[in-house]
Chains A and B, each alone.
Chain A
């Protein structure tokens, strides 16, 4: 039986009022920052490089490597990405509301390591309570001398500014997030440059890190990168929060050592997901947010590791796992996901803007019972126009990766459940209605 590890980033989840500064301070809070300030910034970066923590936003890029790509410049920024909007991902929302001080401490550590002139925490605008709690945590940090001039008596000074978003999935894409922070529409920027570390906020080198990544930093610095790396396996080090949802008995957040647990354990183990509802069987699993291709029940012995899931033709993405049982209409599931991408496409690139909307319309008519058999080829052709060859990892025809995420559910849904699509068409309606 896998043991549920909740000892790093979710360590305070059982504490009452875990969001309060007093509770934070009496449970090891700000020890990481104090230790960081006793080291020089390069040594802090070296610890994070050694930990090999992979970015927890979705792309899974090594956080330490990202930092070391920062172009040398006098003015530079840190931006924390708290725009969590990938469907079925709800870990950052929890960390923001329940351990905001940890997030703020991690932000200050990252800013120290990269030598930031100012740090911004960009939170999804919908997180109303989160905005209040993070601002409180920032206010508290000033009060105890962890922010402002000469932090904890050192020569390091910093301001952290909280910034609310206003509702747009695309702003999770780091260049769109920077555009939004500059007061514009959330349009992803044309690449190259590929990384804000070269040209970022206001044209200056900028590091963008995810909330969960940053929330791990106090522990990594306090305990050493080696201690983090000793957990997990291979490139997937440490623990990670897995957000389990869908038709399981115990949906929720599970902080687990990477690779050591399988999808099967997470979904079925009594102390984790608790299995499906009575009498139901598993039909498919979405392994890493709706941008990830589905996996079959035969594949659920795969370990929860980044490279392991990539090798199987999907991705661990944002670490959110959706279990779908045999009462689920897969046409309806794929349609709803396509509708999401249609609504959230920013509209800059033709393949994504037009493709997402065409696909949604065709999917809707199949689900409604007015589909035609040739619609399946049409859908595959539309997917092919967004991702040539409908390959994985996807070939890209668009500025950002929203477009290439569209076929993940539609094309894979057709491949896995072709008969179910055909039944909708032949019977002129949804067999699950």
Chain B
């Protein structure tokens, strides 16, 4: 699949405009692509390269470095269980096992119904709720076996459709602001301010002399 569709393309073009150099938009556009497909599809890589003035190889090179960018299809929900030290001390590995059996997928795999992909992740900065996990980057914890079962039930029944949105962490991030101010305008103003300040200081010095 897929290049950016019309509406997403409009968003993508807005994002590109936020940066002095287009290549900076690479990662935000990868997130945007994941909001369409759940992962970074080959056509999306090519489209991002066009939009950022780079090549597919460069986009792939950047994307493949980062844990959040999926390079193959994933389930509707990506479940990331933290096993890092703070969670491990409170049963992170037991939670991971529970998640694998409840969601029906081993680490790195997707359940046969295509609903859940399970991952083992590093610290989610939610350590006061250890052991914790995320579902499409929404956090749940502390969780025990019953908690995981309830979570699955709520996800499947749609009870959590508001709390747990679709893939792509930018799906609900909308910038409402005027067009960016050209940086030259800001720089010129500051340079003028600095110059007048220097003049005033010089005048003060000669006045004191």
Residues of A near any B CB (own CB < 8 A): 40, 74-75, 84-90, 92-93, 115, 117-118, 124-129, 131-132, 135, 138-139, 142, 147-149, 155, 157-159, 161-169, 180-186, 202, 243-247, 251-253, 286, 290, 320, 322, 324, 328, 332-333, 336-337, 340, 343-344, 346
Contacts and interface: CB of A to CB of B under 8 A. Distances in A.
16 contacts: A74-B187, A87-B85, A90-B125, A90-B128, A118-B20, A118-B180, A126-B125, A128-B169, A139-B174, A139-B177, A157-B185, A159-B177, A163-B28, A166-B30, A167-B69, A245-B86
Interface string B116-142: 000000111111101000101110000
A430 to B, nearest CB: 13
A375 B189 CA distance: 64
Q: Is the interface of B mostly helix, strand, loop or mixed?
A: loop
Interface size bucket, B side? 35 or more
A246 B89 contact: yes
Given A87-B86, A90-B126, A115-B190, A161 B68 contact: no
Contacts of B190: 74, 115
Interface of B: 18-21, 23-28, 30-31, 52, 54, 61-63, 65-69, 83-86, 88-90, 122-128, 130, 134, 136-138, 165, 169-170, 172-178, 180-181, 183, 185-187, 189-191, 193, 197
A322 B87 CA distance: 11
B33 to A, nearest CB: 12
A246 B123 contact: no
Contacts, number: 195
B191 A290 contact: no
A88 B127 contact: yes
Contacts of B137: 125-128
A132 B177 contact: no
Given A126-B169, A184-B61, A290-B85, 9 more contacts: A87-B122, A118-B183, A129-B138, A132-B173, A158-B181, A159-B177, A165-B27, A166-B27, A243-B127
B96 to A, nearest CB: 12
Contacts of B175: 135, 138-139, 162
Nearest to B168: A128
A247 B86 CA distance: 8
A87 B27 contact: no
Given A157-B181, A183-B27, A251-B130, A322 B85 contact: yes
A275 to B, nearest CB: 15
Given A164-B28, A245-B86, A147 B170 contact: no
Contacts of A149: 181
Given A168-B65, A251-B127, A132 B183 contact: no
Given A166-B27, A183-B25, A337-B85, A75 B187 contact: yes
Contact of B169 (A40, A164, A245): A164
A75 B183 contact: yes
Contacts of B20: 118, 202
Contacts of B63: 166
A182 B24 contact: yes
Contacts of A290: 85
